[in-house]
Amino acid sequence: MDKIFLHTASASYWSNSTSQTNDKNGWVVNFEYGTETTSSKTTENFVRCVKSNTTPVANAGEDQILKEGDIYS
């Protein structure tokens, strides 16, 4: 996995999925321990931008923590 996800922090990353039992929680994947869990959507976690239906591009850049109100183009 390290060769595909270069510059990936050993931390939790948001998925695109909301918890089915609590819509205020979302699913996160921990890239250090290889675990997944739900977390409050107000918790700061890393994000990785991905685009579906395309060939993955490895080493696209370092990860950023986005805060509410941040605008990236």
- The pLDDT of residue 7 is 79
Distance CA(45)–CA(53), nearest Å, equals 25
Per-residue pLDDT at 52 exceeds 70? no
- The pLDDT of residue 60 is 45
Report the pLDDT averaged over residues 53-69.
52
Residue 67: alpha-carbon gap to chain centroid: 13
Per-residue pLDDT at 9 exceeds 70? yes
The structure's pTM equals 0.62
Report the pLDDT averaged over residues 52-66.
53
Q: Is there a contact between 49 and 14 (Cβ–Cβ < 8 Å)?
A: no
